[in-house]
């Protein structure tokens, strides 16, 4: 009976698999958070960069113009 109980005790006491599962859950939660942030702020960030690009383009178009004296 002891020969059967000893491997069972070792199996129950082994926490290495639990640690791997915990890391997997943490990685999954981080991924969900990143996706939620991208979904919520993605349109705003895109609009901001489009505005910056438009302003930069206008300034580059006007760079060769001679200012009035």
pLDDT on residue 1 = 59
Number of H-type helices and E-type strands within the chain: 2, 0
**Tens-digit pLDDT profile for residues 22-62:** 899 999 999 999 999 989 988 898 899 999 999 998 888 88
Q: What share of the chain is helix, strand, coil (3-state, %, to 5)?
A: 85, 0, 15
Residue 64: Cβ within 10 Å count: 6
pLDDT one-digit tens code per residue, 1-23: 567 677 777 777 776 677 888 89
CA end-to-end span of the chain: 103
Q: How many Å apart are CA 43 and CA 46, to the nearest integer? A: 5
Instruction: Flag whether the pTM goes above 0.75.
Output: no
């Amino acid at each position: 009976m002891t020969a059967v109980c000893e491997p069972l005790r070792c199996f129950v006491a082994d926490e290495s698999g639990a640690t791997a599962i915990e890391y997997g859950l943490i990685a999954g939660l981080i991924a969900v958070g990143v996706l939620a942030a991208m979904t919520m702020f993605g349109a705003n960030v895109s609009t901001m960069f489009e505005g910056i690009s438009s302003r930069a383009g206008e300034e580059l178009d006007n760079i060769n113009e001679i200012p009035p004296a």
